[in-house]
Structure 1
Amino acid sequence: MDINVDKYPAKSHAKRVAEKLSAAGHGSSGIIFVEGQKEHIIDDSDEPFHFRQRRNFLYLSGCLEADCSVAYNIEKDELTLFIPPIDPASVMWSGLPLEPAEAMKQFDVDVVLPTTEINNYLAKCGVEKVFTIADRVCSEVSLSSFKQNESSALKTAIESCRVVKDEYEIGLLRRANEVSSKAHVEVMKSATKATNEREFYAKLNYVCMANGCSDQSYHPILACGPNAATLHYVKNNADLTNPATGVKDQLLLIDAGCQYKAYCADITRAFPLSGKFSPEARQIYDIALEMQKVTLGMIKPDVLFDDLHAMAHRVAIKGLVKIGILTGSEDEIFDKGISAAFFPHGLGHHLGMDTHDVGGNPNPADPNRMFKYLRLRGTIPERSVVTIEPGVYFCRYIIEPFLTNPETSKYINTDVLDKYWTVGGVRIEDNVVVRANGFENLTTVPKEPEEVERIVQEGAN
């Protein structure tokens, strides 16, 4: 398909979705109709909630404006964007809104109409079938002119298409990674001078916003020492001085990424606040890094992601046995899922317009605790974008049930384990494109331990 490289490829996406619907037995004609997000006012206020565009609408339009809709006439191959008409009363407060002529320049669509024309358009389009997303059509829109409203297939078709990115989308993800990587490095450089996690939070936001990315992909995690054992730690307000030693001798885990035009980066690093890894922290860091390197080396089109996840556990087991935390047969430790005490989450997930992007088909009911929280099950196709984020953690809440169960406690050496509680956790996460010959890594934050130490030390000078 031809793609207009100057615009988000909405028309190409609409064609792809129509082809997916046809392949699923829904014919080759009809209207695809999707509404964008409306502006919503906060309760007991006249201020709107922070706006976040509906992702399936964005995929078919490229439009980040509120209160818009899009329609694709499959047989005519015509994409129409509906935008709000000018409200003279609001111009005084907010200025002129997006106008049709400007919308035609910005978006890869064939027609731009005011939203007041939606019902007239739908009534006169001359087709019998409309594809909508269930519970995503407002009451003001009339679908009475259609003989059939298919409301179950469209969401599945769009989300299936979103798994494989075109080069334009990959370019947006690359830019989000460039800015996020810069922010990560600046946070590392500020380590020796900061006194509280919130200072890193401020630095992160400043760098991203100064480089054109005003929104974070998710609430950032800036976790010092044992706080890093909480996988989605959100407080970001703890002092950096180790209460046990009175000095800044802990690790800082940063999991953060910004959005660029609604496409998300998701990057994690861990670094020593002092500029030098402690022996225990370095051992855990090396295990996590080896987990990532081995699994990255396995990436290729249509590889089973379960296999990558299982390999990450095997590498973790080997490393934890080597340093004495785990004891016994590596195969037996794997088969009994003991490593889930230290690596409880999944290796990664799809990435795109959402941090945990669609198409992963997780199975939270999986009885195997090693795979229960794996967000991506199945194979990864060429030009999908995934995170690879292994980690090793020392969370008492997760580990202690293994210690109190005689069937699992025999594999854990508590005398050795006690030396590692203050490490908290190490996670190393990159964003990669699956390519025909392997992968392209979009993330540029250094992760070799010597380079990480150098960056932190450089910031002290």
Structure 2
Amino acid sequence: MQQASSLDGRRADVAAAWSLARGAVVVPSGIHVPIQGTDQFHEFHAHPEFAYLAGAQTPGAVLVFDPAEGWALFAPVASLEDRVWVGDGVDHAELGQRIGLPVRPLAEFERWIERRRSEPVAILGNHDIVRQSRAYGAASWASLELEIDESLGERLSEQVSEARRAKDTGEVALMRAAAEASAAGHLFALRHAHPGMTERQLEIEVEAAFFRAGAERTAYGTIVGTGSNGAVLHFAPTDRVLRDGEVVLIDAGAEFGGYASDVTRTFPAGRRFEGAHRDLYELVLAVQQAAIAAAKPGVEYRELHLAACSQMAAGLVDLGLCKGSVQDLVERDAHALFFPHGLGHMLGLSTHDAGGCLAGRAPSDRFGLKWLRADLPLQPGYVVTIEPGLYFIKALLDDPSRRRDFADCVEWSKVDALREFGGIRIEDDVLITESGSEVLTAGIPKTIPEIETLRAQAFDS
């Protein structure tokens, strides 16, 4: 967990950026969401703004800030019923020492916020406090008669997002731990996946390896796609079996201390890459390695993406799947038939972390740019994913308008022959350093010789 001194500095920096002369800031963590038909709840995950500023994952808690009084945290006190069913809850003294804040009973929050009726109040974090204020120890929100300043809340939230971009040493340490746990899962898959195993079985084994290596949870829903399923970008594993001659795409990451990892590896279901599989994989790997090598302070992430698009387009021409000039293919977004998503995104307390777009930059509606999740100059301390992919997505390939628009630059007969191929994605977590970058997930092999050596173990053991 974060050290109290580090959290104190973080909160001081944010408060200085806010520069509030009056008013109050309320940052709820979120509350447990019940599972219908049971007496249990979905797994709790605190709002990232709360987790960043409070340094905790406490459900039903409220972090507050007043420019005159500073920061405080209101946390629930377990009732007798709570203690019977779910345990004693959070120890306020221990929590306060760990995060460097006074921790008060949640029942005192209503009195605290009522004293701010004449001042503007900004809400960050989980806005469920407005709809479910009783869960935070307050009467109905309307009865509090507070002046909620939504524009102020938006401004303060943007400043927190900016602060979250660069990770401090404590955050990086947590992300390294998450990356190490992710490596255990992906290495298990590379060594043990075999034809006849289902996507769902492989998902279970990968996630079990995460937890054995210290992960606290998965960072997102694990993606396992075999054969044509690998072309669905966020594919949920099914009972489809791995088949020799196909590739397997696994996008899965562990989480540790609230911080995510995000890794994708693609490998043959059999011992080795065959035919077109090898050529396509080598292209995606070359694009990824070039992008990682170019990632350093001052480089625009959008330009990294466009360079990857050009390299992908050139490779598609070399493989005979496209024709024409690389510049024309990228300008027309023909490459996006095969590489429709962005090169990657910011990573941290969220898998798609805050602050990915620099203030004032509007998302593009271009087919080749509309799913780009990062548009900003890279700076030391940023952690980004770099994840080019090459897919044969039937929904795009069968779209009449795209077949018409790209009739002159796509070799449709060759492309259609690969309709069942699926996709290849290679993704790593990259820390931007003072002089370049460091791949936090470098312990997970991705070259063809490395992968084929590990795949042999699945058949020789």
TM-score (norm 1): 0.89
What are the superposed Cα offsets for residues 80-116 of structure 1, whole Å, 9 maximum, x if unpaired?
221112312322222322122221233232x111111
Distance 1:402 1:360, change over 3 A: farther
Q: Is the CA contact 1:325–1:413 (under 8 Å) kept in the aligned structure 2?
A: yes
Contact 2:194-2:242 within 8 A present in 1 as well: no
* Corresponding position of 1:166: 168
Alignment-derived partner of residue 245 in structure 1: none
Corresponding residue SS for 1:227: helix
Instruction: Using the TM superposition, give the Cα deviation of residue 274 of structure 1 relative to its aligned residue in structure 2, in angstroms.
Output: 0.8
Structure 2 CA distance, aligned partners of 1:194 and 1:209?
25
CA-CA distance at 1:168 after TM superposition:
1.0
Residue 30 of structure 1, CA deviation? 4.6
2:215 corresponding residue in structure 1:
213
Moved more, 449-458 or 113-122: 113-122
List per-residue Cα deviations over 1:282-317 (Å, max 9, x = no partner): 101011011111111221123211111111111111
1:58 to 44, 51, 55: 51
Aligned counterpart, 1:341: 337
Q: How many residues align?
A: 446
Q: How far 1:393 moved relative to its partner?
A: 0.7
* 1:442 counterpart residue number: 440
- Secondary structure of 2:406's counterpart equals helix
* Residue of structure 2 in register with 1:331 after alignment: 327
CA pair 191-67 structure 1, distance change in 2 beyond 3 A = same
Taking a change above 3 Å as real, the CA distance of residues 148 and 389 of structure 1, as seen in their structure-2 partners, is closer
1:332 is displaced (CA, Å) by 1.8
Equivalent position SS for 1:271 = strand
Which stretch of the first structure deviates more once superposed, 27-36 or 224-233? 27-36
Output the CA distance in 2 between the equivalents of 1:38 and 1:131: 19
Contact 1:11–1:61 (Cα < 8 Å) also in 2: no
1:373 aligns with 2:364: no
TM-score of the aligned structures, taking structure 2 as reference length: 0.89
Structure 1 distance, partners of 2:412, 2:93, is 69
CA distance in structure 2 between the aligned counterparts of 1:29 and 1:434, rounded to whole angstroms: 37
Counterpart in 1 of 2:80?
88
Unmatched runs of 5 consecutive residues or more in structure 2: none
Deviations 1:219-266 (A, max 9, x none): 11111111111111113321113xxxxxx1211000000111221111
Q: Is the 8 A contact 2:345 2:356 kept in 1?
A: yes
Cα pair 1:8 1:62 within 8 Å, conserved: no
Amino acid in the other structure paired with 1:224: T
Change (3 A) 1:393 1:416: same
One-letter amino acid of the structure 1 residue matched with residue 167 of structure 2: K
Deviations 1:194-217 (A, max 9, x none): 521112111111111222224211
Structure 1: distance between partners of 2:363 and 2:119: 40
Aligned counterpart, 1:264:
260
Deviation at 1:419, TM superposition (A): 4.4
Q: Partner of 2:291: helix, strand, or coil?
A: helix
Whether the 8 Å contact between 1:194 and 1:200 is mirrored in structure 2 is no
Match among 59, 63, 67 for residue 60 of structure 2 = 67
Instruction: State the alpha-carbon separation in 1 of the partners of residues 383 and 393 from structure 2.
Output: 30
Deviation by residue 1:42-76 (Cα, 9 ceiling, x = unmatched): 33432222212111111111111211111234345
- The alignment status of 1:427 with 2:425, answered yes or no, reads yes
Q: How many Å separate the matches in 1 of 2:5 and 2:325?
A: 53
Identity %, equivalent residues: 27
Could you tell me which amino acid in structure 2 is paired with residue 409 of structure 1?
Answer: A
1:19-58 matched pairs, under 5 angstroms: 19-22=16-19, 27-28=20-21, 30-58=23-51
Query: Aligned ranges for residues 216-235 of structure 1 at < 5 Å?
Result: 216-235=218-237
Structure 1 residue 357 displacement after superposition? 1.2
Distance 1:422 1:105, change over 3 A: same
The secondary structure found in structure 2 opposite 1:235 is: coil
In the aligned structure 1, how far is the partner of 2:422 from the partner of 2:7?
44
- Which of the numbers 167, 188, 191 marks the counterpart of 1:189? 191
- The alignment partner of 2:208 has SS state of helix
| 1:221/1:236 contact within 8 Å kept | no
Among 389, 411, 414, the residue aligned to 1:413: 411
Q: Residue 437 of structure 1 aligns to a residue in which SS? A: coil
2:75, 2:248 → 1: CA distance? 45
What does 1:127-142 align with in structure 2 at a 5 Å threshold? 128-133=119-124, 135-138=127-130, 139=133, 140=138
What value does the CA root-mean-square deviation take over the aligned residues?
2.6
Q: Partners of 1:408 and 1:402 in 2: how far apart?
A: 10
In structure 2, what is the equivalent of residue 290 of structure 1?
286
Q: In structure 1, which of residues 202, 205, 215 is the aligned counterpart of residue 204 of structure 2?
A: 202
Deviation readout 1:350-371 (Å, 9 max, x if unpaired): 1111111112239896342111
- Per the TM alignment, residue 459 of structure 1 is displaced from its structure 2 partner at its CA by 2.9
C-alpha change, 1:136 and 1:156, in structure 2 (3 Å) is farther
CA change 1:308–1:450 in 2 (3 A) is same
Q: Does 1:452 align with 2:444?
A: no
Note if contact 1:302-1:382 (Cα within 8 Å) is conserved in structure 2: no
Within-5 A mapping of 1:147-166: 149=149, 150-166=152-168
For the 8 Å contact 1:403–1:412, the answer to whether it is kept is no
Aligned position for 2:92: 100
Report the Cα offset of residue 406 of structure 1: 4.2
Q: Structure 1 CA distance, aligned partners of 2:238 and 2:53?
A: 36
SS of 2:25's partner is: strand
CA distance in 1 between partners of 2:74 and 2:423 (Å): 48
SS class of match (1:233) = coil
Q: What is the CA–CA distance in structure 2 between the aligned matches of 1:240 and 1:146, rounded to whole Å? A: 58
Task: Extract unaligned runs of 5+ from structure 1.
Answer: 242-247
Q: Does the 8 Å contact 2:2/2:171 carry over to 1?
A: no
Residue type matched to 1:164 in 2?
A: A
CA deviation digits over 1:367-389, x for unaligned, max 9? 42111111112323321111100
- Contact map agreement 2:346 2:383 (CA 8 A) in 1: yes
Match of 1:114 among 93, 102, 105: 105
